[in-house]
Each structure stands twice: as C-alpha cells, then as structure tokens.
Amino acid sequence: MFVYFSIGKSMDTKTISHASDSHLDIATLDFLRRILFSQDSIEKQYIAICQFVGDQLQLSQVSLISLEGSMLRLINGSDKTPRPIEASADYIDHWHKHQTLFSTDIQSETLFSNQYQHHLKAGNIACLNQYLIDNKTRKLILSLENQSKPIQFSSRQQQFIEDIRQLLADILKREQQSLDTEKYRNLYSEFESAFDGSNYSIISTDSQGIIRSFNHGASLMLGYSAEEAIGKTPELFHDTQEVIKRAAELTVELNELIEPGFETFVAKTRRGEIEEREWTYIHKDGHRLPVLLSVSAIRDQNNEISGFLGIAIDISDRVLTSRAIREQEATYRLLYEASSDGIFLVHDGIIIDINPAAQHLFACKREQIIGQPPTRFFPQIQPNGDNSAEVAQQKIYAALNGKNQFFEWQHITYNGTPFDSEVTLNTFMVDDKVLLLGIIRDISERKRTQQELDNSRLSLIEKNRNLMLINRLSSQLQHLTNKQHVYLEVMNTIIEHIPIAKVGIYEVEEQNLVLKASCGLPQKIEEHLKTLDINNSLTGQALHNKDILITENISQDSPIIGQFNKEVIDANFQSAVVIPLYFNEQLLGSLNIFFEKQKNSFYHERELYETIGKTLSISMFNTHNMQAMQYLARHDSLTNLGNRSLFHHYFDKHIMQPGRRHATVILFDLDRFKEINDTLGHHIGDLLLQQIGPRIESALEGYQYLLCRLGGDEFTLLIENLLDDSQRIALAEKLHSSLRQAFFIDKMHLEIDSSFGVSIYPNDGTDSHALLRSADVAMYHAKTNHLGVSFYEREFDTNSPERLMLLADLNNAIKENQLVLFYQPKLNLQTQTVEGFEALIRWQHPERGLLFPDSFMPLAEVSDVIYPFTDHVIELAMQQQKQWLSEGKRYSVSVNISARNLMDERLYPHLKACLKKYKTPAELFELELTETALMQDPERAITILKRIATLNVKLSVDDFGTGYSSLAYLRRLPLNALKIDRVFVKDMLENDQDEIIVHSTIALAHNLKLQVIAEGVENLEIIERLQGINCDMVQGYFLSQPKPWKEMRQWLKDNNY
C-alpha cells in the first residue's frame, strides 16, 4: 500500500538551535551541527547521514537516491562513492508526481520488481519507507529499508526523520547556491572580459551611489581613468541642471519627493523597474555628449539591492540623425500644410490624414474626412462611363505594387458637387506600414478654359478651315527679321488661298500711305497707287476707325483709294478689302486686297482677314524692333556713329573679300579730354563728342569710309579707296588739322588736340583686330612724341605687349605699396648745409626688380593712372617728412608733377587734405613743374598754381632753359625757385655759352626774387664756380646719387651734414 504526505519547511541554524531546546539529544544535535558546517564534499556528507540514520533507527539499510530527470544514482553508508542504478519508468514517474512511498512487501510490489536487485539490500524484503527531498532542479529520495518486519516509528523517531529530511534539503540548497555562485563568477568574468574592451560605458555603484567599477569603455567615453572615477559618484560626469530637472519630473510622476542626486538615477529601479532614458554625459575636457543610459539593480543572495549597474552608449550620431530627421519632417510638414494641392494619406483603405487644401477641395471639416474611405468622395460613375470604385481599385492596386499613378479623375465634395482633378498616387513605408499618398489638384478651371478653347477652335474650324492657313503663316513669319521677307510671305499666302486676289501692303509715312510691296497689281496701277493720301478716302476712314473696310462694288461705293478710284475701276477691279494694320494703338499701315470680280463671301471671311491683318501687324512691329535692336547693337547711342561691333562686322563683310588689296585704318583720340570732363562737366564732354563725327565727315567728301566711335574719346576710321601713302598722309594731316579748329559748345570756344595712328591692310594686320592694335601702337607713338599723326612701324611695337602688361602692373603697384622714394640732397652753397631733398620715384617690381622712372613714367603720363600715381607719391613724401619732424629735422622735400596733374582740379584738395593729415609745414613742401608742362595751357596753369600757392606750398620750375616760357609769363606765376637744367650746368666750365646762360639765369631769377638751384653738378670745380656767381643751391651726383632714406641717413652722418 502507498501513503502520501507533504514535507515541512527546511531546517537552518535557527531550527537546530530550537531543536536543541526541545527533542534532539546531544549526539544528534552535534551530528547535525557537524554536517551543517562541514567542509567535506556533498557526497561525503550524504554517506555520513545514511550511516548516522541507520544507526539511530536500527534499520537494515539507509540509502539516498539522486533523481536527475530520468537518471538515478545510489548513495548509501556501505558505498564510498555514488553509483548509477536502473529503475522502471513507472518508478521514476511516481517520484515526479508524489513525495512519499511506503511498502510492506517489496517483492510483491510490481513497482519495485525491476530494480529490487539493483538497489535494495539482499534479504531486506519486508518493508520500505521512502521520502522525497525536492529543490526543483534536483530530487533526493531517502530510502529506509528493514528486514522481516514492517517499519514502525515512534513519534520521536518520526520527528527525527523529518529533521533529517530538512537537513538534506538544506544541503541541497547549499549545493545549488555553490553551483550558482560559481556560475555567476564565470558569467561575470566573461561579461567583464567581453565588455571591458567595448564602446559601452559600464559603471557599477554600491547602493548609495559610490562607483565600484568603471570599465575601459567608460574611460574612453568620459576621459576619466578608473582610478579617477572609483570612489566618486555619477555626479562627476552628469549635468547638474539636467539632474535637477529630472528629479522634479520624478517627484510628480512617483508622487514622492525625489531629491536631486544619485536617487534621481535609481528611484524607478528601486521600485523594480529597469529604466532606460537619454542623459547628457560631460567629458573630462568639458564637451557634452548624449547617451542612452540603462540602470538595473544588483541583488545579493537574499534578493536585497546591494548596488546598481549603469550601461550607457554614445548616441551622438543618433541624436544628430534624429535632429536632421525632425528638421526634415518639419520641412515636409510645412510643405504638406502649405501645399495648394490636396494631399491625403490612406491606410488599409481608410483616410488617416489630410492637409488644409484637401479640406478646401472637399468643402468640409477635417473630422468629416478622416476615417472615410476615398470612395466617399467619388461619383458612382466617371464622366467617361467607368465605374469609379472599380477603376480606383485598379489604380490603388497598381500604386501599392510600386507603379506610381497619374490620371485625371472626377471627385465630389462632401455635399456632392463634382469637380475635375488630377491625381497622383504613390506609396511609402512608415513604421512598417504601407501608406498610400494621394495628391489632388483641382483642374476644373483649366478644364473649363480648355473646353472653351476647344469649342472656340472647333467653332472656327467649322466656320472656316482656312485657319490652318493662319497657323502656318504665323509659324513662317515667326523667325523672319526682314520686312520685305515678311511682306512677300503674307502676299504669297493670300494668293495661294485666293488666287484671284491682287495685294498691296502700305506703310504710314507722315500723312500718306506708301506702297512697300505688291503682288499681281498691274504696273500702271502700281505707279498710281504708290502713295495714297490718308485723309481723302475710305481707306483713310478705315485706318482712323481701326476697323476693316469691305466693298463688294468699287464703282458704287465712295472712293476707296481717293483720287485714283477711277484708275482702279478702269483696271477692272470690282471689289476690295482694306485691313488697317495696328499694334498697341500705333498705326503701321494697311493691307489692301483687290479682286477682278465681285465677291459675296467677304463677310464670312472677315475673321480671316482680321487675323491676317493682326498677324502681319505683329510681324511688322517685331521686325521693326529687331532692326532697331540691330541698329542699336552696332551704333553708338551718343554720336549715332557706328561702334566697335559695326567696325568689325563691316570689315569682315566688305574688306576681307577675295580681290580686295588695300584698306586704311585711322585710329584717333582727343588729348586732354578727361580734363574737359572733369573741369567743364560730362555734359560738355558729350556735346564735344557729338561734334567730332560731323567735323571729321566734312573732311571726307569723296571718300568711301566708315566712321565709328570705339568708346570714350576714341574713334576709328576705315577708308577703302586710298591707294598710296601720300594720300594717306595728306588725309590724316587734314583730319588732324580739322580737329584743331575751335569747337563752339555751350557758348564756349574749345580748342583741343588729338593723336592719330594709321595702319594699312594687309601690311599691318590681316584682320580688323590686328589692324586696330597696330593703329593703337602708332597712335601711342604719336601721343608720346607730340607728333599729331604717326604711321605704324614695326619698331614701335617691339615692347607693346610689355607696355600693356606694365600698365596693368602699375595699377597694382600703387595698391600694393611697390612704389618707393629715393632722395637726392640739395646743398645750400652759402651755409654748406643740406636743406632738403628731391624725392624721386622708383618701382620695386616683384618680378623685374627695381625700375627707374624712364621705364614707366611715359606710360603713366598718357593714361589715367597718372592721377592716383601722383597722389600716392605726395603721400609717401609727406609721410617721410613727418618722420623727419619727429626726429627734429626740418628738411624740405620736393615732388615732380606732370602736365596732366597740373591740369587736374583734384590736385589742390588732395594737397590740402594731405597737409592736414600729416601736419606737414606747407613751406617745407615743394612741387616741381617742367617748363613744357607749364606751356601746354599757360592760362589754366596760372589759375591752378595761384590756388595751390594759397596753401603756402612752394613751387619751382624744373629743367629751366629747355622750354619756351617767356619772362612775362614767369612773372605771372607764383613761383619760389628755378632749377637750371643739367645740360647747361655740366659743360659750363668748357663752354662759355653755357656759363653765360647759367649766369644770366641766376641774375634773372634773383631779379624776380626766386631762389636758384643748379642740377647735374658733377665735380667740385663746378660747385666753386656756381658759388662764385651767387647760385643758391646745388644738387647732383658729385654730392650724392638718389638713395633710399636709410642709406641717405648714413650718407648725411658720414659727411657731417
């Protein structure tokens, strides 16, 4: 028989202590303590228990059977090691279902018959008590056997057995804990090894937040070493403000005060949750990085929280991506909301979202559309007879299969009003859901307009198929730019359509209509109808009324063409149509069509004639504009002369032709034109330029020529029939002389000079560009040498490319401070002291090295660069003088200016501004001018110099004796000094004539109360001679060559100046 009952609770040290106070004897209690605290293996403890129980209960056999799944192992007091045993499936199944098994006759029980001989002691056949000890993963069976008689236990023995069962349960539990601890250690070792080299930050703390471990990934992420972090709290690398904010959120969420600090990170974890959220870590160097932080609890064997584990991963890339996605979504949402087209989203056949435009299209509120199927807004049948639902299903199915759909469709509003639309369907994925995107554009107005156009077109075609003719005519006229070609195309079209027609096209000229083209008109009639008076005919009336005029019987109607009506009738013309030609209210002319027989279909064809007239008017206007544009493109708007484009076009078309042998190009410009603009104003300059053409053309009578203005004050002349050089020279001189005659402009007489350059085709160039360049070289030669006229010579052009490059470089030199001043001292012969210096310009070219003035000043003086150039030199000199003054030196400095500077009104204000800017004493600053410069425009020079003299700046005449100035003129100038030219000084000891000139010049200057400076002093004897004839100052190579200031300072020191 079998008896079943349950096991009590397990025994621990407290139970043993309690047992010692109740029923266990000393021996048993001692044994239990030894077993409980034994360091022996589990198997040895099991064997000891079997032996002890057998002795205590005086049983034949006590065994332990270990049941692991379907496997059995036997442990008893007589065996030293456990051994496997066999058992029936029924026996094993019993222990998976029950906890006890009693038998009074083992041999008679079939449950034991198969394994009796394997695990029951021989002869022990009387009875068997077995008890199950189960810890869920492993089961132990305590088997008590007795021979011959049934086992009967007293209550005390039964309590003893129960205590043994509890002891075995505790041993099993300790065994499992030992296995779990070892497994945990192995797992932790693997975990630590696996993650210590990863990118994860893994940090553990104790229950109070003190960091206990800090892996390599955390060091990489935060910049702190493990040594720096362990012993600290996570506040080391968290944003305080973020923690405070999170604590406030948790206080509300958990309805409990959460103080900012470590509790903020673990509050939820303490409540059994694993919290994962984004935080901001702060790196040791101060930069911030977003992380995803997961916090979980670490529990001890009693399931108490002993610490926390935080695992974080850097999500910077994810945050940036998320931000970009949000921005993109915002952009798309803005486009979605702002679109004028209706947009809807459909999922599973239901509309889930729409934009405001869709609400407007369907004339209802958003909530009246959301949740509806698209078919709610379809009519049952489309205008073409298709079933809306069936066709829509096909379109949607195609879109869902990746084929975008675009089609026209009729929708209905919420209230049932139909409207036409264009629909686009495509699909996209959102959160693993396939959404259908539909875009609806209302095309009702377009359809209506298109229908009206179609109806109109059909109506016109139905009325008259001849509109095809108009379309063809418009197409043919579209690209024509010549009026005669337009007229011919129109007349041919009319004749092709109406073979009996005779056509005349007139243009308005003053009060007349002038015949410009005709087709089919007899010559005699054409001569009579060449010019028509607008005012005395029905034609004129049609033009004034801006309405087409039709006469089916010329002989009975009023004169259709005025005084020539009889001639028209005599020519057998029976009927006619007059079509006024207007564009934008501007009368252009008329289209007159005559017929030799009466026509009765005029009024049916009226629309055709009007359309032909409009088409012709548009083409006339366009061709006129095109011709005007072509004229403007090739002519100068100020002078009405040809421009550079016309020059090249004409040359290519007329000169570069087979058989053409010679042509002459004359290029000229006006000297001092800039001064005219600057002093008298651009208006006067423009008036002067307008008079150049007529002046030149008056000298070209009998020549075949083209005169063009290239730009500014530069003109070119192309002459075809000059055969030899003598003719060319004579004409060029004649033209030059004609421009020297005074121009009367705005009540002023202006006298100008000019420079002419002449080149010959093909000697000096084989195309128009080469010839202009050659003429330019010749003109430059004429200008620099004051020749008036110069013919191109190859030697003039040797350095021309270099000259142009140098001019470009000179502009940069001013901006980049490449200009430097060298100083040559002026010695006072009376005091033997250096009183000042002449500042001489040099150019420190970055590629060509140091350049002297003769290599670039001629170029500067004939270009506009002379003005900023001189301004820059004045500033450099005053800067140096300011430095001298700061050192206690009152040296004077003189600067050379050109003739063009002298004529420039800007010189005075620039000098005044510089004197104020650098605080330079005006009496120590001097301007040097050549006699040649003064004599170019003597009266103007006097005016400008007198104004400059008011600044107290000194003025001197350089190279005196080489020009043509008179004493009377010199007396009128506010001069302070004369500089005798070196050509007289250097040879005055050998040439008596030179000495007389020098001596008389000194006397003359002194009489005019001017100081005298002798240039070019090259030896001591000349100095002594000059001192003897009362010369005031000298300068020259004998004293010193021009030097940079640094070297000149040393020279002064070496020579005790």
**Angle formed at CA 110 by CA 108 and CA 115, multiple of 5 degrees:** 100
Return the amino acid letter for 903. M
Residues 269-294 have pLDDT tens digits of: 898 887 888 999 999 999 999 999 98
Would the pLDDT of 1 be above 50?
Answer: no
Round to whole Å and give the CA distance between 685 and 675: 9
Identify the band that residue 376 occupies on the pLDDT scale cut at 50, 70 and 90: very high
Residue 20 is predicted with a pLDDT of: 40
* Domain at 339-447: CATH code: 3.30.450.20
The CA distance from 30 to 27, in Å, is 5
Confidence of residue 15 (pLDDT cuts 50, 70, 90): very low
Q: How far apart are CA 555 and CA 575, in angstroms?
A: 9
Q: Is the pLDDT of residue 885 over 90?
A: yes
**Domain 197-320, second-level architecture:** 2-Layer Sandwich (3.30)
- Name the band, by pLDDT with cuts 50, 70 and 90, for residue 17: very low
Confidence of residue 136 (pLDDT cuts 50, 70, 90): low
Q: In what order do the strands lie in the sheet with 342-347?
A: 350-354, 342-347, 433-442, 418-430, 405-412
More confident residue, 568 or 1003: 1003
Burial category of 792 from C-beta neighbours within 10 Å (exposed 0-12, middle 13-18, buried 19 and up):
buried
Give the mean pLDDT of 625-644.
82
Helix-then-strand count for the chain, H and E = 38, 38
Q: Which of 494, 693, 455, 725 is nearest to 591 (CA)?
A: 494
> Please, what is the Cα angle at 78 between 77 and 82, to 5 degrees?
75
Query: What pLDDT is stored for residue 961 in this prediction?
Result: 66
Q: What is the pLDDT of residues 610-629, one digit of tens each?
A: 888 888 888 888 777 777 77
Minimum mean pLDDT among 510-524, 859-873, 964-978: which range?
A: 964-978
Alpha carbon separation from 378 to 353, 391, 392, 422, 445 (Å, rounded):
18, 11, 9, 13, 19
Helix (H) or strand (E) holding 525: helix 523-528
DSSP string, 299-361: E-TTS-EEEEEEEEEE-HHHHHHHHHHHHHHHHHHHHHHH-SSEEEEEETTEEEEE-HHHHHH
Amino acid at 620: M
What the block records as the tokens of 530 is 């060449």
Three-state secondary structure call for residue 39: coil
Q: Is the pLDDT of residue 918 over 90?
A: yes
Residue 22 has a pLDDT of 42
* Crossing angle between the packed helical segments 467-477 and 483-497, to the nearest 10 degrees: 160
Q: For 48-64, what is each residue's pLDDT tens digit? A: 888 888 888 888 788 88
Q: Residue 314 and residue 215: Cα distance in Å, rounded?
A: 15
Peptide bond between residue 762 and the one before it cis (omega within 30 degrees of 0): yes
Give the pLDDT score at 8.
Answer: 28
CATH topology of domain 635-794: Alpha-Beta Plaits (3.30.70)
358 contacts 343 by C-beta, under 8 angstroms: yes
Q: Can you read off the two tokens belonging to residue 57?
A: 């209960």
Q: Which pair of structure tokens corresponds to residue 400?
A: 């869902």
Provide the H-helix boundaries in 764-889: 768-784, 800-815, 857-861, 866-886
SS3 440: strand
Q: Is the pLDDT of residue 360 over 80?
A: yes
Nearest to 690 by CA among 646, 746, 730: 746
Q: What are 420-436's pLDDT values in tens digits? A: 999 999 988 877 788 89
Using pLDDT thresholds of 50, 70 and 90, give the confidence band for residue 19: very low
Strand partners, 760: 664
Q: Among 634, 539, 642, 551, which Cα is nearest to 581's?
A: 539
The structure tokens listed for 387 are 């079933």
Mean pLDDT of the chain: 83
Between the alpha carbon of residue 84 and those of residues 115, 122, 465, the distances in Å are 12, 18, 113
Residue 148: pLDDT over 80 = no
Neighbours of 880 (CB within 10 A): 19
| Tokens matching residue 168 | 């075995």
pLDDT in tens, 159-183: 888 888 888 887 777 776 666 556 5
User: Distances from the Cα of 344 to the Cαs of 359, 389, 414, 544, 665, in angstroms?
Assistant: 10, 18, 15, 59, 75
CB atoms within 10 A of CB 452: 10
Token reading at 394: 């096909």
Longest Cα–Cα distance of the chain, Å, equals 175
Contacts of 293 (CB under 8 A, 6+ apart): 265, 276, 277, 278, 279, 310, 311, 312
* CA dist., res. 72 & res. 1037, Å (int): 129
pLDDT confidence tier of residue 510, bands split at 50, 70 and 90: confident
Secondary structure of residue 514 in the 3-state scheme: strand
pLDDT at residue 24 is higher than 60: no
* Whether the domain at 197-320 and the domain at 339-447 fall into the same CATH topology: yes
For position 106, what pLDDT does the model report?
A: 67
pLDDT of 9 reads 32
* Those residues with Cβ within 8 angstroms of residue 720's Cβ, 6 or more apart along the chain or in another chain: 654, 655, 663, 704, 705
Q: Dihedral through CA 638, CA 642, CA 647, CA 649, nearest 10?
A: 120
HEC profile of 951-1003: CCCEEEEEEECCCCCCHHHHHHCCCCEEEECHHHHCCCCCCHHHHHHHHHHHH
In this predicted structure, what is the pLDDT of residue 118? 53
Tell me, what's the pLDDT at 13?
41
SS3 state at 255: coil
Residue 576 has pLDDT above 60, yes or no: yes
C-alpha–C-alpha distance, residues 573 and 554, integer Å:
7
pLDDT (tens digit per residue) in 789-808: 999 987 776 555 666 677 78
Q: Which among 785, 740, 753 is positioned nearest to 673, based on CA atoms?
A: 753
> Rounded mean pLDDT of 554-580?
72
Give the model's confidence band at 1045: pLDDT under 50 very low, under 70 low, under 90 confident, else very high. very high
DSSP state of 654: I
- The predicted model scores a pTM of 0.35
- Top-tier CATH class for 807-1054: alpha beta
- For the segment 493-502, what is each residue's pLDDT rounded down to a tens digit? 888 878 888 8
Both tokens of 166, joined, read 């509890």
The CA distance from 889 to 886, in Å, is 7
Q: Is the pLDDT of residue 963 over 70?
A: no
Non-local CB neighbours of 627 within 8 Å, separated by 6+ positions? 481, 483
Query: What confidence tens digit (pLDDT) does each residue in 62-115 have?
Result: 888 887 766 677 776 555 566 777 777 777 777 777 778 777 766 666 666 555
Distance CA 856, CA 805 (A): 11
Identity (one letter) of the amino acid at 434? Answer: V
Report the range of poorest mean pLDDT among 178-192, 907-921, 925-939, 973-987.
178-192
Please state, for a pLDDT cut of 70, what percent of the chain lies above it: 84
pLDDT higher than 90, residue 412? yes
3-state helix, strand, coil in the chain (%, to 5): 45, 25, 30
Answer whether CATH 3.30.40.10 is correct for domain 464-630.
no
Is CATH 3.30.1550.10 what the domain over 13-181 is classified as, yes or no? no
Is 924 exposed, middle or buried, given 0-12, 13-18 or 19+ CB atoms closer than 10 A? buried
Give the residue-averaged pLDDT of 695-720. Answer: 92
* pLDDT per position as a tens digit, 192-234: 565 555 568 889 999 899 999 999 889 999 999 999 999 999 9
pLDDT tens-digit series, residues 753-772: 999 999 999 888 888 888 99
pLDDT recorded at residue 12: 44
Mean pLDDT of the 737-758 span: 91
Tokens standing for 958?
């350089």
pLDDT of 577 above 70: yes
Strand order in the sheet with 501-509: 531-533, 512-519, 501-509, 586-595, 575-583, 549-551
Which residues lie closer than 8 Å to 476 by C-beta, 6 or more apart? 489, 493
Query: Residue 27: is its pLDDT beyond 70?
Result: no
pLDDT at 14 over 60: no
Contact 823, 1027 (CB under 8 A): no
Pairing of strands 833-845, 892-896: parallel
User: Residues in the chain, how many?
Assistant: 1057
Confidence tier at 316 by pLDDT (50, 70, 90)? confident
Residues forming beta bridges with residue 928, ordered by sequence position: 896, 956
Is the pLDDT score of 979 beyond 50?
A: yes
Q: How high is the pLDDT of residue 11?
A: 40
What tokens appear for 41 in the block?
């293996």
pLDDT confidence of 1021, banded at 50, 70, 90?
A: very high
Greater confidence (514 vs 128) lies with: 514
Residue 877 has pLDDT above 50, yes or no: yes
Domain boundaries along the sequence of the chain: 13-181, 197-320, 339-447, 464-630, 635-794, 807-1054
Residue linked to tokens 């009023």: 558
Q: Which residue has the higher pLDDT, 327 or 10?
A: 327
To 5 degrees, how large is the angle CA 682–CA 683–CA 684?
90
Half-sphere exposure of 427 (CA within 13 A, CB side): 18
Task: Look at residue 508 and tell me whether its pLDDT is greater than 90.
Answer: no
Give the contacts of 768 (CB within 8 A, at least 6 positions apart): 647, 648, 651, 652, 655, 665
